[in-house]
Amino acid sequence: MIDGQTEYVAIFGNPVAHSLSPQMHNAAFSHLGLNLAYLAFRVDEAGEAVSAMRNLGFRGASITVPHKEKIIAHLDEVDEIGRTIGAVNTIVSRAGRLCGTNTDWLGVVQPLSQMTELRGKRGLIVGAGGAARSAIYGLQRNDTQVFIMNRNEARGQKLAAEMNCTFVPWQAWDHLRTDLVVNATTVGMSPTEEQSPVPVHWLREGMVVLDMVYRPLKTRLLKDAEKAGCRCVSGLDMLLFQGVAQFELWTGKVAPVEVMRKALEEATAEEIP
């Protein structure tokens, strides 16, 4: 129940109407009896989100597209992980100072690690935004050789140079072989539900495929990958594990992982094809 003592956490981005973070975090707050509430706000400018947090005294926030990189300039502090990745998806208020970090990399690495040994593998990241940066960081931290593709080659090459990985031109699919692939773009999300950023013919049996998109739950990429005999990781798993880390930063308590997982599963139960 919200009362005069309730503290708030929020997700800021555009779009946010599809977000399942409120269901996940509010279920966890309720389970542990915490007087916290998680809300979703659509904002067009990163600075607007930070101003709202300062003026309303928010405990913390999740930052989603398109603000993960631009938000950095508005914060009081960014930790080493956030600076290295160059993108922030989590803000924690500490004595009035807004401190940024990134937990997306954990959302990538933890479910992938349950599927395969990452050390020594070859991984492809599709995309060159803040989500791609976190995936690159997480895989490199686990000794995976990273390749990136992006339709905007200049942006992709710039990211590859910044994060010491290999850029591959978009037309070079037939010349690339990797053990795993991560979709770090919004392709597959409304209104592109019938599209995939990865050619069907490139997918092969045994490959591990993670799609960060979780609405729809089974994207075109994951459907294609499943048919090709790949092992698939949905965006729901990434959402869960990055959210677990966020929860613990905001509350200082051990996250009720299974409660959070159940909330996500219930929220998407009718979406399973």
pLDDT tens profile 124-161:
999 998 889 999 999 999 999 999 999 999 999 999 99
> What is the DSSP code string of 187-224?
BTBTT-TT--SS-GGG--TT-EEEES--SSSS-HHHHH
Residues 6 or more apart in contact with residue 210 via CB below 8 angstroms: 108, 111, 112, 180, 181, 182, 183, 232, 233, 234, 235, 237, 238
Strands of the sheet containing 77-78, edge to edge, are 36-42, 7-13, 60-63, 90-94, 97-101, 77-78
Mean residue pLDDT across the chain: 95
For the segment 154-165, what is each residue's pLDDT rounded down to a tens digit? 999 999 999 999
Indicate the pLDDT class of residue 271, thresholds 50, 70 and 90: low
For the segment 205-221, what is each residue's pLDDT rounded down to a tens digit? 999 999 999 888 899 99
Indicate the pLDDT class of residue 174, thresholds 50, 70 and 90: very high
Q: Is the pLDDT of residue 267 over 70?
A: yes
Indicate the pLDDT class of residue 246, thresholds 50, 70 and 90: very high
Q: What is the pTM of this model?
A: 0.91
Question: Position of tokens 């599709």?
Answer: 126
CATH 3.40.50.10860 residue ranges for the chain: 7-102+237-271
Whole-number pLDDT of residue 65: 86
CATH architecture of 7-102+237-271: 3-Layer(aba) Sandwich (3.40)
For the segment 71-125, what is each residue's pLDDT rounded down to a tens digit? 999 999 999 999 999 999 999 999 989 999 999 999 999 999 999 999 999 999 9
Domain 105-233: assigned CATH number = 3.40.50.720
CATH 3.40.50.720 residue ranges for the chain: 105-233
Indicate the pLDDT class of residue 167, thresholds 50, 70 and 90: very high
Share of the chain above pLDDT 90, in %: 91
Q: Is the pLDDT of residue 272 over 70?
A: no
- As to burial, measured by CB atoms within 10 angstroms (0-12 exposed, 13-18 middle, 19+ buried), residue 186 is middle
Sign of the CA dihedral running 15, 36, 212, 145: positive
Indicate the pLDDT class of residue 1, thresholds 50, 70 and 90: confident
Q: Is the pLDDT of residue 273 over 90?
A: no
Q: Is 262 a catalytic residue?
A: no
Question: Position of tokens 């593998």?
Answer: 121
Whole-number pLDDT of residue 44: 96
Q: Which of 68, 223, 253, 262 is catalytic?
A: 68
